[in-house]
Amino acid sequence: MLTERESQVLNIIIDYIKQNEYAPSVGEIRDILGLKSTPTVYGYLKTLEAKGFI
């Protein structure tokens, strides 16, 4: 089960790939989420990986 924010990150990745045919960078995900911290995005990505979503 994903948290709301994890789902948001996953949907950003899926939508970005559909539009651009490649995955977004960590910085692009950070900017889309309106965050200032890149390590926070890495944390979400690691969690999604551990849960088997990416």
pLDDT digits (tens, 9 = 90+) for 1-54: 999 999 999 999 999 999 999 999 999 999 999 999 999 999 999 999 999 999
Architecture of domain 4-50: Orthogonal Bundle (1.10)
How high is the pLDDT of residue 19?
98
The verdict on pTM exceeding 0.85 is: yes
How high is the pLDDT of residue 38?
96
Helix and strand numbers (H, E) in the chain are 3, 0
Domain boundary assignment for the chain: 4-50
Q: Which residues contact 24 (CB under 8 A, 6 or more apart)?
A: 12, 13, 16, 17, 32
